[in-house]
Structure 1
Amino acid sequence: MDRELSATTKQAHKRKRLWQIGVAVAIVAAAIYGFNTLISPSLNRSEIRTATVERGPVVATLTATGVVVPELEQAITSPIQARIEQVVRTSGEEVKPGDQVLLLDRSFTQLAYDKLKDEQEMNQHKRVQLRLQLQKKLNSLESQLAIKRMSVKSLQARLEDEQYLLKIGGGTQEQVKQAELNLKIAQQELAQLERDIASERELLKADEQELGFTMAMQGRNIEELQRKMEQAEVRATHRGVVTWVKNEVGSSVNAGDVIVRLADLSSFKIKAAVSDAYAEQLQAGGEATVRVNEVDLKGTIAAIEPTVTNGTVTFFVALDENAHKLLRPNLRVEVYVTTATKPNTLRIKNGPYFNSASNNSRLFVVRGDELIQIPASTGASNADYVEVEGDVQPGDEIVISSLQDYEHLKKIQLK
């Protein structure tokens, strides 16, 4: 026969029941929390970088790589075909104008120089001989001319005598005609001698001019060889530093080969390169900024090489401060070429997010303990700032670190 449970027993059963329900509720709550955690990932604030939207200018730039090079660099070429006899200055040594750097063997050029000098002496003698020969010929012609003139005068007197005799009846008409013919022949011969003498004088003048031209050309060749032999003592033309020298003593060099490079390290420029895809955005005279160890130096594009090499275009930037203390030869720098300027726009500091995001039409803004994805777009940019447009306001805190793995989420919890 069943007995009614006591009040104490009933109370114990009730407490046990409540405890079981409480445990079940806790398990369900934990499951719900874990599920929410799975479907709503979270991030620690320390894992992200943020920046505040502000108003200000944004200068759009094109990024290029550059290297510092001397503004003035001289390549000295060999003036002659020779061999290196002595290296006087080595790379890294400072030089002043007139300091010798190399000595070339000039024996081969000396032989050519001596040969030209001998030929010049022979031409001098030839010139003297030519004048003497032509003068002798002219003297002979002048003598013949004088004789012929006297002959003409004699024949002219003879003609006058024959004409007188004919007039008084002591001569004949045939004798007069013969005298006239003899006079005409002599006059023709006299005119021919005068023309021959004039021609000989012109010929002498032409021969002297031709020989003079030959001697002038040889004189210039002699001067050039003399200058080349002087240049064989390779000397610096301005103050600077020897950056390279062909230092193999005894090695041969051809005329025109570069044997020494000198650089003036008191001023510098930037040699930069960029992909040929951006070649149209480069313009001579355009503004550029060179970043050297976090210091920005202003400059302008001075020259652009017309050829494309390995898919890149090379250009040179002239710096406003070309003697800045941070500039060193061959130092690698970043070059930012200005392509557009926005004087007053919404901007945010540049960061990895804008380089890694596959879709820059969305940004993550901090809202309390959450990151909310908002529609936005980017415009002009440089290494420091990015122009932003869309549902952003000044003062908004925007994530600028990479969130590539979370781009598909509309909301992210912050811890």
Structure 2
Amino acid sequence: MDRELSANTKQANKLRRYTQVGVFLALLVFAIVGFRTMLTPTVSSDKLRTAVVEQGPVVVTLTASGMVVPEQEQVITSPIQARIEQVVLKAGEQVNPGDQILLLDRSYTQLAYDKLKDEQQLNQHKSVQMRLNLRKTLNQLASQLTIKQLKVKSLQAQLTDEKYLLKIGGTTQESVNQAELNLKIAQQELSEIKDDIATERELLKADEQELGYTLAMQSRSIEELQRKMEQAEVRASHKGVITWVKNEIGSTVNTGDVIARLADLSSYKVKATIADTYADQLKVGGNTIVRINNTDLQGTISSVEPTVSNGIVTFYVALQEKAHQLLRPSLRADVFVTTASKGNVLRVKNGPYFNTAKGQQVFVVLDNEVFRRAATIGVSNVDFVELEYGVKPGDVVVISDMADYQHADKIKIE
């Protein structure tokens, strides 16, 4: 028959059961921790790029491509239709005012100049001849005038005599009438001669004015051709550097063709291009940042070209430091056009993470682990991203690409 267990035996059995349960629970905890450790992803510290959350402004910008160009560039055009006879200076050479760059053949212009000079001399001779002819005509008319005046006096005397004879009965009324008619005819002829003299003088005055206009026009044309022949010795008007020159000796250029470009390399501006979708955001006077070799130069939009070419808008930026030591012709630059600005906000350096981030979240580094945290991503530019909440100043945020860990709550850093 069964015997009742002693109290010591019961106590020993209870202790053994507790021990077994404790061992089981410990094994279970170790198994769970080990399994979770196996499920927690890891990332190499070499692949992590981080940045510290700070407070500061975030300026919203548009990114454009830019090129440094001289602020002032003189375009030299051909003053005449000519052939390039000699190239004195080449592109890249510095010039001072008065230095000759090109020499154009002036033979064609010289012929036109000589022709105009001959025509001017002919017209001057014509002017002298006109005065001589007028003098001759006026002398003839003056002689006729004197004769007519004498004739009128003679007829006046005859008329007086006829009237006296008629009074004493020595002639007839018909003789008196004939004497009066002869006097009137002579007086009319005298008046006509006076009118002819006045007309000749007026004609000479008009001809001289016309000839004077012709001579003045020819003088201006001669001066212009003379100036063009002087300009055929193409010279620099101010100090600078030749950026381009037409160096094809023997080639023909027409009047107005560009034959050289001269730049003043003491000051620069930036020629920038951007897609036409942003054209309405380009305003003259708008602030810009020009970045060259990690150096930022402040500037403003000075002008925007009105035309669009192949979907591209061109605009120009005036720099505050237009003579900065980094500036060189044709140097590439990044141009950031300011469209908006936020003042003292939480921000972090921009990085690849914010290009691939899904949802409003960031990854914060604590000790040797990375934790996913909800955060609102605000405005950004190429340098900074605004974080509206979810972080505080001093937090270390991952800015490298985390596309493979978007759904992980915690990541271990190796």
TM-score between the two structures when normalised by the length of structure 2:
0.84
> Corresponding residue for 2:123?
123
Shifted more, 26-35 versus 294-303: the winner is 26-35
> Corresponding residue for 1:180?
180
| Structure-to-structure mapping, 1:178-327, within 5 angstroms | 178-327=178-327
1:45–1:414 CA contact under 8 A, matched in 2: no
Q: Secondary structure at the match of 2:388?
A: strand
1:101 aligns with 2:101: yes
Q: Which runs of 5+ in 2 are unaligned?
A: 1-19
User: Aligned partners of 1:256, 1:74: CA distance in 2, in Å?
Assistant: 14
User: Aligned partners of 1:255, 1:68: CA distance in 2, in Å?
Assistant: 30
Shifted more, 317-326 versus 191-200: the winner is 191-200
User: Aligned partners of 2:154, 2:352: CA distance in 1, in Å?
Assistant: 120
2:240–2:263 CA contact under 8 A, matched in 1: yes
Distance verdict in 2 for CA 1:373–1:183, change over 3 Å: farther
User: Aligned partners of 1:182, 1:73: CA distance in 2, in Å?
Assistant: 86
| Structure-to-structure mapping, 1:7-406, within 5 angstroms | 32-33=35-36, 36-37=39-40, 41-357=41-357, 361-366=360-365, 369-379=369-379, 381-406=380-405
User: Aligned partners of 2:179, 2:316: CA distance in 1, in Å?
Assistant: 95
Letter in structure 2 aligned against 1:400: I
1:350–1:385 CA contact under 8 A, matched in 2: yes
Letter in structure 1 aligned against 2:411: Q
Shift of 1:62: 1.9
User: Aligned partners of 1:184, 1:356: CA distance in 2, in Å?
Assistant: 119
User: Aligned partners of 1:118, 1:61: CA distance in 2, in Å?
Assistant: 68
1:373–1:410 CA contact under 8 A, matched in 2: no
2:100–2:235 CA contact under 8 A, matched in 1: yes
Q: Secondary structure at the match of 2:92?
A: coil
Length, aligned pairs only: 392
1:411 aligns with 2:409: yes
Shifted more, 164-173 versus 248-257: the winner is 164-173
TM-score between the two structures when normalised by the length of structure 1:
0.84
User: Aligned partners of 2:384, 2:71: CA distance in 1, in Å?
Assistant: 31
Shifted more, 203-212 versus 342-351: the winner is 342-351
User: Aligned partners of 1:356, 1:156: CA distance in 2, in Å?
Assistant: 125
Q: Secondary structure at the match of 1:401?
A: coil
Letter in structure 1 aligned against 2:140: S
Distance verdict in 2 for CA 1:378–1:310, change over 3 Å: same
Q: Secondary structure at the match of 1:237?
A: coil
1:376–1:392 CA contact under 8 A, matched in 2: no
User: Aligned partners of 2:408, 2:162: CA distance in 1, in Å?
Assistant: 143
User: Aligned partners of 2:121, 2:70: CA distance in 1, in Å?
Assistant: 48
Shifted more, 96-105 versus 364-373: the winner is 364-373
Shift of 1:332: 0.5
Shift of 1:196: 2.1
2:361–2:372 CA contact under 8 A, matched in 1: no
Distance verdict in 2 for CA 1:144–1:120, change over 3 Å: same
Shifted more, 385-394 versus 112-121: the winner is 385-394
2:373–2:390 CA contact under 8 A, matched in 1: no
Distance verdict in 2 for CA 1:338–1:159, change over 3 Å: farther
Deviation per residue, 1:150-205 (Å, 9 max, x gap): 33333333334444444444444444433333333333333332222222112111
1:365–1:374 CA contact under 8 A, matched in 2: no
Shift of 1:31: 8.7
Shift of 1:90: 1.6
Distance verdict in 2 for CA 1:286–1:143, change over 3 Å: farther
User: Aligned partners of 2:202, 2:390: CA distance in 1, in Å?
Assistant: 98
User: Aligned partners of 1:410, 1:164: CA distance in 2, in Å?
Assistant: 151
Shifted more, 177-186 versus 86-95: the winner is 177-186
Shifted more, 323-332 versus 130-139: the winner is 130-139
Deviation per residue, 1:236-262 (Å, 9 max, x gap): 111112222222222222222222222
How large is the RMSD of aligned CA atoms in angstroms? 3.0
Letter in structure 1 aligned against 2:135: Q
> Corresponding residue for 1:12?
none
2:242–2:260 CA contact under 8 A, matched in 1: yes
Shift of 1:66: 0.9
Shift of 1:404: 3.5
Distance verdict in 2 for CA 1:387–1:197, change over 3 Å: farther
2:363–2:370 CA contact under 8 A, matched in 1: no
Among all aligned residue pairs of Structure 1 and Structure 2, give the percentage whose two residues are the same amino acid.
Answer: 63
User: Aligned partners of 2:258, 2:373: CA distance in 1, in Å?
Assistant: 62
1:43–1:412 CA contact under 8 A, matched in 2: no
Q: Secondary structure at the match of 2:347?
A: strand
Q: Secondary structure at the match of 1:206?
A: helix
User: Aligned partners of 1:29, 1:236: CA distance in 2, in Å?
Assistant: 86
Distance verdict in 2 for CA 1:137–1:253, change over 3 Å: same
Shifted more, 42-51 versus 286-295: the winner is 42-51
1:362–1:375 CA contact under 8 A, matched in 2: yes
2:377–2:385 CA contact under 8 A, matched in 1: no
Letter in structure 2 aligned against 1:397: V
